[in-house]
Structure 1
């Protein structure tokens, strides 16, 4: 029989996150700090609006680009939060999560063989989405000594005549790194000089600590060459509602909608009505969740300091990225032994790119009591390793 499978798809590796999640799901008394999902329930007033939309029979297709009311609220939100002004009718679309927006954004912009710059460590979907779009992925290895931020020199060194798109993944998953306005200005200058485009993944924009999020699209000359991607999963604890959005130049959004209408049709209708309520009345919920995450973030940094485990201080998302290089093991070996011996699941840094070797991603989107138990076990584990060296 002829091989029914695509060579391109066969070459894509499965997510390194799921391996440990699948193991821990069958392990008694285990704690998982591996999945990047808020432990909060979707706020009740948002759930209620979703329920009400079903009760009212709002179960039909919306426009391909999304519910008008939702697109208007998205534009109002971006205006008040990051000083960005978009036309809801021509520059905004609703997607099935931020991940779909990444996928169709690349497919709408890339010709075969054009290069996509992907700073790593970063979200696992960027590279396979670039491959599926027939792009050539070019990895920029971010460095711990720069707090895993993208620098002007790193960007310049990676650009070739074939470079088309830079993916900008800040606040960052898995490192928790952010970029300030001044740092983004240096990146924006290069982007404009080299005439390339940006897909700015801002899904963690509401989860920053100490610095208000800045979108690179808000800088002079950048709105017309940037697709801003965001959504409701992280900030409003709406992962299962599967809702995101993209805003950008009309000519790009039009083509993204074309792909979306053939592959998806439209995002779930009741999720869209719930999202309208989230944007209108959810600021307090976001603030309360952000404060809880910040408390957990500070707790983890304190515990790492106590156990002398090296970790730069992250100011975004809900992840820490400690170094385990002192133990002479690969990230996968460390995570596997930690799970087997202490029943705690974390994610090897290499799940987010080869330059994540020597690091672990630990999510603090979990109850503080679970974090205390897990960190006690981590302290016991590293002390045992040090005593045996």
Structure 2
């Protein structure tokens, strides 16, 4: 007996990266080596001291039982200290909740905050995950175009009044996936005021908080009155190469935190105590390791950008994240077709910009989660293929 997916699950659709990975797997089965510059998963291991801390925590019998919902008090205290040290932001106990990976929270938030009659504002291009929770909630998604001429910041003043009146929440994400753009304190001040004026919950996805090159990426909560209207989602996946650990937390508006905690408590439950102890240790101690990781990504970014610019290709500087945003030559009108052709014929995987929304059409996202030699080889093959490609 075979059962069909619910309408809700069908509406989500299949992720582009899952489709691409299936294609890559088929090529590998044929004995073809693929240079994968499309991944969003760190290629380097979790910092060794964090792993050792987890091994010790595994012997603690307390961690063998159900973990406390919303996080251990000791981890919450460390999060307070971390935000005070890094961003000069003071937090209270009820302004923090811990959960297993940021994807769980990003999916949960529309279901906790949005109604089927409501609107959720999202950037485009953007991380695929925002769409999933909105679709599951039944709310309407209204996309805010992020354009190069505006430094990939949404023009909030252009959101129609009728949309503002129905909007219940807004997703933001800086440093931005996929463009690598950064936000300013001035923009976050503007976003806070927009949230206050329109009674909209602002959710800042701070996934790439620590992968910022020219200067420290600002926290949304550094803006005055930010906690009155929004929260920030911080994941340890990128900062500490802990993607597989599924460790993240939210900080900010106490009422949003309460709703998020309640939804996660009634769905996915708590986060394994060993992961919480390792996360606490990481936040407290790994300052030098974080710097070394940033330097690694900076070196990789510079290698990729230099190769692309030397060949007269238009590429954004990428102020953060581990992605580079490449504008395709005007002769190429279909970025998805090009990306598929590049994979099947030159055996280099990248993600077409339109996979992140219509505003990404005509671009490619190149990932920096590979060693410098692999990146250089992949970029050179991309450049060669661009010169010979015909639609």
TM-score by length of 1: 0.94
Q: SS where residue 326 of structure 2 aligns?
A: coil
Residues 233 and 241, structure 1, Cα contact 8 Å, conserved in 2: yes
1:13 equivalent in alignment to 2:6: no
Q: Supply the distance in 2 between the matched residues of 1:209 and 1:376 (Cα, whole angstroms).
A: 24
Residues 102 and 233, structure 2, Cα contact 8 Å, conserved in 1: yes
1:59 equivalent in alignment to 2:64: yes
Q: Which residue number in structure 2 is paired with residue 281 of structure 1? A: 285
- 1:301 maps to which of 305, 308, 320: 305
What does residue range 175-194 of structure 1 map to in structure 2 within 5 Å? 175-194=179-198
Q: Which residue number in structure 1 is paired with residue 36 of structure 2? A: 32
What does residue range 64-75 of structure 1 map to in structure 2 within 5 Å? 64-75=69-80
Q: Supply the distance in 2 between the matched residues of 1:228 and 1:164 (Cα, whole angstroms).
A: 16
Q: Which residue number in structure 2 is paired with residue 205 of structure 1? A: 209
Could you say what the CA RMSD is over the residues aligned between the two structures, in angstroms? 1.9
Q: Which residue number in structure 1 is paired with residue 86 of structure 2? A: 81
Return closer, same or farther for 1:288/1:379 CA change in 2, 3 Å cut-off.
same
Give how far 1:190 is off: 2.4
1:140 equivalent in alignment to 2:144: yes
- 1:356 maps to which of 350, 357, 360: 360
Q: Which residue number in structure 2 is paired with residue 230 of structure 1? A: 234
What does residue range 155-174 of structure 1 map to in structure 2 within 5 Å? 155=159, 159-174=163-178
Residues 54 and 270, structure 1, Cα contact 8 Å, conserved in 2: yes
Q: Supply the distance in 2 between the matched residues of 1:107 and 1:213 (Cα, whole angstroms).
A: 29
Q: Which residue number in structure 2 is paired with residue 272 of structure 1? A: 276
Q: Supply the distance in 2 between the matched residues of 1:138 and 1:127 (Cα, whole angstroms).
A: 10
Q: Which residue number in structure 1 is paired with residue 155 of structure 2? A: 151
Between 1:3-12 and 1:54-63, the stretch displaced more is 3-12
Residues 151 and 183, structure 1, Cα contact 8 Å, conserved in 2: no
Q: SS where residue 36 of structure 1 aligns?
A: coil
Give how far 1:18 is off: 1.9
Give how far 1:345 is off: 0.5
How many matched pairs?
386
Return closer, same or farther for 1:187/1:253 CA change in 2, 3 Å cut-off.
closer
1:378 equivalent in alignment to 2:382: yes
1:119-154 superposed Cα distances (whole Å, 9 cap, x missing partner): 111110101211212221101111122232223434
Residues 92 and 246, structure 1, Cα contact 8 Å, conserved in 2: yes
Give how far 1:369 is off: 0.9
1:256 equivalent in alignment to 2:270: no
Residues 211 and 320, structure 2, Cα contact 8 Å, conserved in 1: yes
Give how far 1:157 is off: 6.9
Q: Supply the distance in 1 between the matched residues of 2:106 and 2:186 (Cα, whole angstroms).
A: 25
Give how far 1:104 is off: 2.2
Q: SS where residue 239 of structure 2 aligns?
A: coil
Gapped regions of structure 2 (runs ≥ 5): none
Give how far 1:155 is off: 4.5
Give how far 1:334 is off: 0.7
Q: SS where residue 116 of structure 1 aligns?
A: strand
TM-score by length of 2: 0.94
Q: Supply the distance in 2 between the matched residues of 1:154 and 1:38 (Cα, whole angstroms).
A: 36
Give how far 1:156 is off: 6.0
Give how far 1:255 is off: 2.0
Between 1:373-382 and 1:323-332, the stretch displaced more is 323-332
Give how far 1:364 is off: 0.6
Return closer, same or farther for 1:287/1:83 CA change in 2, 3 Å cut-off.
same
Q: Supply the distance in 2 between the matched residues of 1:367 and 1:22 (Cα, whole angstroms).
A: 23
Give how far 1:101 is off: 1.4
- 2:326 maps to which of 319, 322, 329: 322
What does residue range 98-109 of structure 1 map to in structure 2 within 5 Å? 98-109=102-113
Gapped regions of structure 1 (runs ≥ 5): none
Q: SS where residue 384 of structure 2 aligns?
A: helix
Q: SS where residue 261 of structure 2 aligns?
A: helix
Residues 140 and 158, structure 1, Cα contact 8 Å, conserved in 2: no
Q: Supply the distance in 2 between the matched residues of 1:374 and 1:157 (Cα, whole angstroms).
A: 46
1:57-108 superposed Cα distances (whole Å, 9 cap, x missing partner): 33222111112211111121111112222123x1211111011111222222
Give how far 1:3 is off: 7.2
